[in-house]
Amino acid sequence: MTVPRLRGSFAPATAPGASNPLLALLPSLGTTSALWDGVVAALRVDPRTAGLRILRIDLPGHGASAAASDPFTIADLADAVLAVVDEAGGGAFHVAGVSLGGAIALELAAAHPDRVRSLVMSCSGSRIGTAGSWAERAASVRASGTASLVTGSASRWFAPGFLERDAGGPGARTLGTLIDIDDESYARCAEALGAFDRTASLAALTVPALAISGEHDQVTTPASMQDLIDDVPGGRHVALDGASHLAVLEEPAAAAALIAEHIERAERHAAASVVHDHGLSVRRSVLGDAHVDRANAAITAETVAFQDFITRYAWAEIWDRPQLTRQERSIATLASLVTGGHEGELRMHVRAALGNGLSRERIAEVIMHTALYAGLPAANGALAAMTDVFASLDASETENRPEPHPHASHREDRTKHG
């Protein structure tokens, strides 16, 4: 197997600064990157995606990409896409693909989750057709050329009546392009699809995923797309009315709106994840790994949102502000907890204060000072809780202290009298 050499190009007026998010668009078998023209035009004027860098990449022997004679896999095509993205600046990117392009996009998300920020699969699947049907298609193209596919493709690709309404528009032009596709490259792509099956990987996907189907698609039906997305954690499926297999060409405005919304959500999620990870780091440094690990292990479906809230807002934002030192924040926290009578939280933050460098004497002094304003009963309970924490730490230290060597005293005596 070999990794084909693919070519891509930035869509007009969609290649701003390298720091802007990147969207890679992959076409279907037998089409070129022009398949995305209508979607790109809509994305350019949508405020949510106006700043996107949009990179369209052609398949082997399709459009601008060189023909391929050697066999390759979908994984090889995914690596070829990564090579184009790296040439365009690299980093993580959003990816959307139609049919074969969607299979490549799924392979990227499954094999390279660190590189994919979001996934859109339009009229595609984790497995499309059978190895036998694709082998027959490859043999037919080698014998009769891609021109022999035009009539069948017209009925598979477009909803009833679309070509008549299209009247020489993008649908007709796409069918005309099919004749120019390199026969052997098409056959190799068909064989690669025949060997592709990522069904077992769907449940492990961590990338935000959107599936788009066409109401009239008989190849990758709305039902099959729903089955696919049901297996993807957090995945979403939308069927476009009045469209078929090339839904992004037939309904470009609707497809673009879905893609823009999906990318916007993914960008927000990524930003929140960065904040969450930072907050978790601060939380661990203040409260210790053991406490955070216990808290995380106790998370349920009902408490996960609250745990995310305190990690991002309490720890990533408040506890990491530079205006107060960690010791000063511990003092303020202890005083607040004493005042509120929150002895359970107080015990946790007594330990945290020690970790932040406050001595036992200073912790006791904070509680004593707070007694003036919070009242003696609150301070008395707080001192009792503090004493319990210190006793627990002392007991733990004693238990973990190594026992003296049984001959230590004897060796010491020999040294003294040596």
Q: pLDDT tens digits for 98-123?
A: 999 999 999 999 999 999 999 999 99
CA–CA distance, 162 with 173 (Å, rounded to integer)? 13
Which of 189-203, 214-228, 398-412 bottoms out in mean pLDDT, i.e. has the lowest?
398-412
pLDDT class of 274 with cuts at 50, 70, 90: confident
Mode of pairing for the β-strands spanning 22-26 and 53-57: parallel
Token digits of residue 176:
């005309």
pLDDT value at residue 416: 35
For the chain, residues classed under CATH 1.20.1290.10 are: 322-400
CATH topology of domain 8-270: Rossmann fold (3.40.50)
Mode of pairing for the β-strands spanning 8-10 and 53-57: antiparallel
CATH topology of domain 322-400: AhpD-like (1.20.1290)
pTM: 0.74
Question: Is the confidence at residue 409, as pLDDT, over 80?
Answer: no
For the chain, residues classed under CATH 3.40.50.1820 are: 8-270
Question: Is the confidence at residue 370, as pLDDT, over 50?
Answer: yes
Spatial strand order of the sheet with 22-26 comes to: 8-10, 53-57, 22-26, 93-98, 116-122, 209-214, 236-240
